[in-house]
């Protein structure tokens, strides 16, 4: 199976976003449905989100420098925050348009062709969303996760829009179309809030997941013994990068060279797990 890197996935997502935006905009133009318009507006957010995510992931891959000794990986959280903000803006635009249409109903036309275009765009979003989430899990990337979850939200949004627009066309009550658009706006508003919350958590140096911490503790346990203990373990994530700090207590009679050698071995073991470990060496009586 072909494995795509984060930048390749986001470039593919950007191309897919342009394609779905074109399909949904054409569907809205043909039908005049404000529900389809709401879907098209969200596709515009997809384009902006994928483009900004690509920019931030490119920045995040830059190596550490004097100004950023821990690297640039947190730029990915800016991407997720930007996408969440764009979703909130899209929800506002959809609400304003839908409320206006609620008071000024408009007949829906050419529903068959418009619906076919929307379905095609939704299938494309589904495939791209699943691909992005797979990549997010593989590379631990907030940018890929934010973009992928947004696309899957877009799919469910489209399902609701199609059902609502069809009901409005069949019943003749065109105001149903506007109500569906408002429901879509509320739905993506909630999703945007979730994405912003996760981005804020990442920027505040949230600890690694409990399962990951257990892995680190087990790796360090292999170096315990001979009166050596690892205490005060602290962890944090910076998008795709993971960091840990710990105090290593050694017997007071150990030489600096011996303690330093053991610390280096522990750091290399954690590096193999993808964790950058910093160890502070101290004699056992330091906390005694």
Question: How do residues 55-100 score in pLDDT, each as one tens digit?
Answer: 877 887 788 778 877 777 777 777 777 777 877 777 787 787 778 7
The pTM (predicted TM-score) of the whole model is: 0.61
Residue 261 burial (CB count, 10 A): 11
Q: Rounded distance, CA 22 to CA 124, Å?
A: 12
The alpha carbon of residue 59 and the mean position of all alpha carbons in its chain are separated, in whole angstroms, by 16
CA distance 282 to 230: 10
Third-level CATH fold of 6-203:
Alpha-lytic protease prodomain-like (1.20.1510)
CA distances from 219 to 216, 222, 265, 269, 272 (A): 5, 6, 11, 7, 10
Q: Which residue has the tokens 């060496």?
A: 281
Q: How confident is the model at residue 107 (pLDDT cuts 50, 70, 90)?
A: low
Contact criterion met (CB below 8 Å) for 10 and 53? yes
Q: CA-CA distance, 226 to 130, in Å (whole number)? A: 49
Residue 237 three-state SS: strand
Rounded CA-CA distance 82/48 in Å is 9
The Cα-based distances of 223 to 208, 259, 278 in angstroms read: 21, 11, 15
Q: Which helix (H) or strand (E) segment is 244 a member of?
A: strand 241-250
Phi then psi for residue 231, to 5 deg, are -130, 170
pLDDT class for 110, splitting at 50, 70, 90? low
Residues 192 and 86: their CA atoms lie apart, in Å, by: 8
Q: What is the pLDDT of residue 280?
A: 93
Per-residue pLDDT tens over the stretch 250-273: 998 899 999 999 999 999 999 999
Query: 1: pLDDT confidence band, cut at 50, 70 and 90?
Result: very low
CATH, range 210-287? 3.30.70.1350
Average pLDDT over residues 224-249: 87
How much is the average pLDDT of 9-36? 87
- Give me the DSSP letters along 154-193: HHHHHHHHHHHHHHHHHHS-THHHHHHHHHHHHHHHHHHH
Hey, where are the domains in the chain? 6-203, 210-287
Provide the token pair at 177.
């179309």
Whether residue 238 contacts residue 256, with contact meaning beta carbons closer than 8 Å, is answered with no
Tens digit of each residue's pLDDT (9 = 90 or more) over 162-179 = 777 777 777 777 778 778
| Cβ 179 vs Cβ 105: under 8 Å | no
Closest of 42, 48, 68, 55 to residue 6, by C-alpha: 55
Burial class (CB in 10 A: 0-12, 13-18, 19+), 204: exposed
Are 143 and 76 in contact by the 8 Å Cβ rule? The answer is yes
Residue 181 pLDDT level (bands cut at 50, 70, 90): confident
Tally the C-alpha atoms within 13 A of residue 257's C-alpha that lie toward its C-beta: 0
- Cα distances from 161 to residues 96, 128, 201, in angstroms, run 17, 20, 32
Cα–Cα distance measured from residue 190 to residue 199, given in angstroms and rounded to the nearest whole number: 14
């Amino acid at each position: 199976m072909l494995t795509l890197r984060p930048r390749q996935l986001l470039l593919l997502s950007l191309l897919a976003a342009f394609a779905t935006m074109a399909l949904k905009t054409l569907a809205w133009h043909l039908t005049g449905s404000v529900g389809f318009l709401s879907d098209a507006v969200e596709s515009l957010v997809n384009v902006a989100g994928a483009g900004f995510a690509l920019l931030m992931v490119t920045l995040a891959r830059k190596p550490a420098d004097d100004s950023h000794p821990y690297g640039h990986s947190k730029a990915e959280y800016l991407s997720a925050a930007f996408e969440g903000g764009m979703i909130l803006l899209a929800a506002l635009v959809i609400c304003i348009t839908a409320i206006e249409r609620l008071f000024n109903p408009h007949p829906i036309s050419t529903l068959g062709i418009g619906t076919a275009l929307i379905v095609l765009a939704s299938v494309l979003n589904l495939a791209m969303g699943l691909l992005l989430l797979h990549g997010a899990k593989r590379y631990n990337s907030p940018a890929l996760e934010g973009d992928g979850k947004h696309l899957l939200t877009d799919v469910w949004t489209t399902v609701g829009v199609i059902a609502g627009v069809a009901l409005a066309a069949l019943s003749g009550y065109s105001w149903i179309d506007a109500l569906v658009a408002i429901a879509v706006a509320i739905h993506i508003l909630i999703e945007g809030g979730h994405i912003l919350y996760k981005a804020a958590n990442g920027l505040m140096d949230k600890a690694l997941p409990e399962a990951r911490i257990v892995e680190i503790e087990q790796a360090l346990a292999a170096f315990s013994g001979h009166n050596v203990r690892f205490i005060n373990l602290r962890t944090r994530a910076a998008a795709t990068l993971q960091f840990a700090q710990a105090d290593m207590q050694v017997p007071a009679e150990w030489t600096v060279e011996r303690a330093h050698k053991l610390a280096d071995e522990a750091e290399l073991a954690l590096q193999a797990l993808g964790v950058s470990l910093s160890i502070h060496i101290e004699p056992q009586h330091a906390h005694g």
